[in-house]
Structure 1
Amino acid sequence: MGDCDPMAEASRGALELLRMLDVELGVLGVGSGRTVLRFLHMAVDAGVEPGVAVPSSFETGAAVYGLGWTVGDPRVYRGVDAYVDGADEVEPGSGYMVKGGGGALLGEKILASRSRLNIFIVGEDKLVGRLGERMPIPVEVEPGFAAMALAGLEELGLKPRLRTSQGKRGPVVSDWGGVLVDLHTGPIEDPRDLESTLRMVPGVRETGLFLGLADYIVVGLSGCGYKVLGPYRRGGV
């Protein structure tokens, strides 16, 4: 019972949940990262007929194309039937999450906000008592005013750090042209208050706080199997 892969279990659970809910996957929104790629491979292996997939990043777009899906242009679609993604931290009680460790938070949040159903896939190691316990909070800022945005964040006592690239000198730039900043906040008492505060800083494009966006969170268990958290009330707890 101890040899199971929690993320494979969670991906299987997400597929079973979609079947149970009888979701029509005419247009699927797809997040970014290894978790999502595993889900897509498992879906194809399980006989899911590839349809239209609207990706949140260039990497995901290339992956869905390689699996036989039609890549939907996010500039054209007004919404998606369902959205599947992973998360970096999850508060089980509220369904609040931190995302953006892979740098695709802007596209991910837009897709999640324009989806009829959102399912997030995580392992038990992503569950926390409070957001910010283990991960910094990613923020995407305007590249031409990054220094000013950083100054504004520093004045709020948020300890911003420009995310630097491993493959080149300089900051990490997202697929959508923004510069990524990580906020080392520690445990966050009021995520909604922090979200509102960040949005008031000129130059901040988007934050990695995903609040009130989950319908279900599927958690892969280290001892095999999975559990489903939710349904959560979209827009709040």
Structure 2
Amino acid sequence: MTQDALKVAAAERALTFVEPGMRLGLGTGSTTAKFVDALGRKVAAGLDVLCVATSEATQMQAEKLGIPMSTLDETPFLDLTVDGADELDGELRLIKGGGGALLREKIVATASGRMIVIADASKKVDTLGAFPLPLEVVTFGLTATRNMISALAADVGCEGEIKVRMQADGSPFRTDSGNLILDCHFGQIEDPEELDEALKLVPGVIENGLFIGIADLAIIAAPDGVLLIGAEDDDLL
């Protein structure tokens, strides 16, 4: 199976957890886009749901498909969020933010009763960190912020280059909220919880891409089938 086909398989499996009347959070990224496409077909066939997007890109895709949309201000409590991940480990700890939507993704996920992560098998790792950890930061005091990140990360065993994310035209990437992204090339994050706590001490960091204790279930599509990691039974999901 191609990677694209694996993403579709994970997305379609996640759709089986969607029930009529649900309030859904829609994530951002190429795998989640497959889920939004599949959800759009279900809505066209009569499925009743109300959704909140984690990015302008997802909002536009959903609106084009005729999916009923809301905002967290209008619908502050969601039943379920379905989103992708740049990396995940066996304890359902995630790195997210490769698409630059980590702040809104975390807000939506934590406003939800449950979160399902969908991914192809390439995203499953033993130790987080090969994918650079994104941090959403404010522009003011960027050098000071980066220096503090570097120092506090080193205290918990994480060292590596910290780069401002740039666009193809050479300008800094801006999130939907107008902030910058710092990509931290730490290589391996042996203790994600410690790093998460350290990053929370940096005033210029609005949010980091470590999602810990947020996901309830991961749906991992591999060539030999779909694997579920986490709360698989209906009592927990």
Considering the TM-score relative to the shorter chain, is it more than 0.5? yes
Equivalents in 1 of 2:115, 2:46: separation in Å? 18
State the 1:221 CA deviation: 1.3
Equivalents in 2 of 1:57, 1:75: separation in Å? 15
Give the match's secondary structure for 1:59: helix
The answer to whether 1:97 aligns with 2:98 is no
**Counterpart residue type for residue 228 of structure 1:** L
Change (3 A) 1:212 1:226: same
Give 1:165's aligned residue: 167
Equivalents in 2 of 1:60, 1:3: separation in Å? 23
The structure whose RCO (Cα within 8 Å, separation 6+) is larger is 1
**Counterpart residue type for residue 177 of structure 1:** G
Identity %: 32
Give 2:205's aligned residue: 204
Which residues of structure 1 form unaligned runs of 5+?
Answer: 233-237
Give 1:191's aligned residue: 192
Give the match's secondary structure for 1:144: coil
Contact 1:105–1:208 at 8 Å: present in 2 too? yes
Equivalents in 2 of 1:129, 1:48: separation in Å? 41
Scaled by the length of structure 2, what TM-score is found? 0.88
State the 1:147 CA deviation: 2.3
State the 1:74 CA deviation: 2.8
Which residues of structure 2 form unaligned runs of 5+?
Answer: 233-237
Give 1:87's aligned residue: 85
Scaled by the length of structure 1, what TM-score is found? 0.88
The answer to whether 1:15 aligns with 2:10 is no
**Counterpart residue type for residue 162 of structure 2:** P
Equivalents in 2 of 1:119, 1:74: separation in Å? 18
Equivalents in 2 of 1:170, 1:27: separation in Å? 37
Q: CA RMSD in A?
A: 1.8
Of residues 105, 108, 111 in structure 1, which corresponds to 2:105? Answer: 108
The answer to whether 1:137 aligns with 2:141 is no
Contact 2:22–2:48 at 8 Å: present in 1 too? no
The answer to whether 1:32 aligns with 2:28 is yes
What is the aligned length? 223
Give the match's secondary structure for 1:220: strand
Contact 1:143–1:177 at 8 Å: present in 2 too? no
Equivalents in 2 of 1:85, 1:173: separation in Å? 21
Change (3 A) 1:176 1:50: farther
Contact 1:163–1:172 at 8 Å: present in 2 too? yes
Change (3 A) 1:201 1:51: same
Give the match's secondary structure for 1:68: coil
**Counterpart residue type for residue 10 of structure 2:** A
Contact 1:25–1:81 at 8 Å: present in 2 too? no
Tell me the alpha carbon deviations over residues 191-213 of structure 1, each in whole angstroms, 9 at most, x when there is no partner: 00000001101200000000011
Tell me the alpha carbon deviations over residues 113-147 of structure 1, each in whole angstroms, 9 at most, x when there is no partner: 11011111001100101110x20100001122322
Contact 2:20–2:49 at 8 Å: present in 1 too? no
Contact 2:40–2:62 at 8 Å: present in 1 too? no
